[in-house]
Amino acid sequence: MNKFEPLIIGFLCKWCASAAADLAGTSRLQYPSNLRPIMVNCSGFIDTSYILRALLEGADGVLIAACHPGDCHYVDGNLKARRRIAIIKNSIRALSLEPERIRFEFISTSEGAKFARVVREFTEQIRALGPNPLKGDER
């Protein structure tokens, strides 16, 4: 029996989340390989249309990891990201689609363990939700 392997796109900000992911690796913390990471300079770079696109392309989940408020290398990109994610999650919820497929986390450079834990949790959460119905035209 083939277990459903979710595919999760992760947008990791360069200065905090990517460094945390590096730390998780350096510390040899194990987490599921379902995450496909994309490094961006700042979470403020993420527009709602990229998250939507990832879901429509077939990703089962989208993770956006940013610096904690006050720590953003570019001042406040993470706060901008939070608003945009609120809009897309809110909209997805209003349409009774699954807002849990989008997850926004604050992860700082030193939180390698948190990064691994979030990826683990999110992967299992998406596995339980099942494949993303949004991929392709479902009639």
Q: Name which of residues 69 to 128 contact another protein (CB under 8 A).
A: 69-71, 73-77, 79-91, 93-97, 100, 103-106, 110, 116, 121-122, 125
Residue choice 1, 2, 3, 138 for contact with another protein (CB under 8 A): 138
**Which residues lie closer than 8 Å to 51 by C-beta, 6 or more apart?**
62, 64, 85, 88, 102
Number of amino acids touching another protein (CB under 8 A): 80
Per-residue contact flags (x/-) with another protein for residues 27 to 66, judged by CB under 8 A:
-xxxxxx--xxxxxxx-xxxxxxx-xxx-xxxx-------
Which residues of 41-95 form beta strands (DSSP E)? 61-66
Nearer to another protein, 4 or 36 (CB): 36
Q: Which helix (H) or strand (E) holds 20?
A: helix 17-26
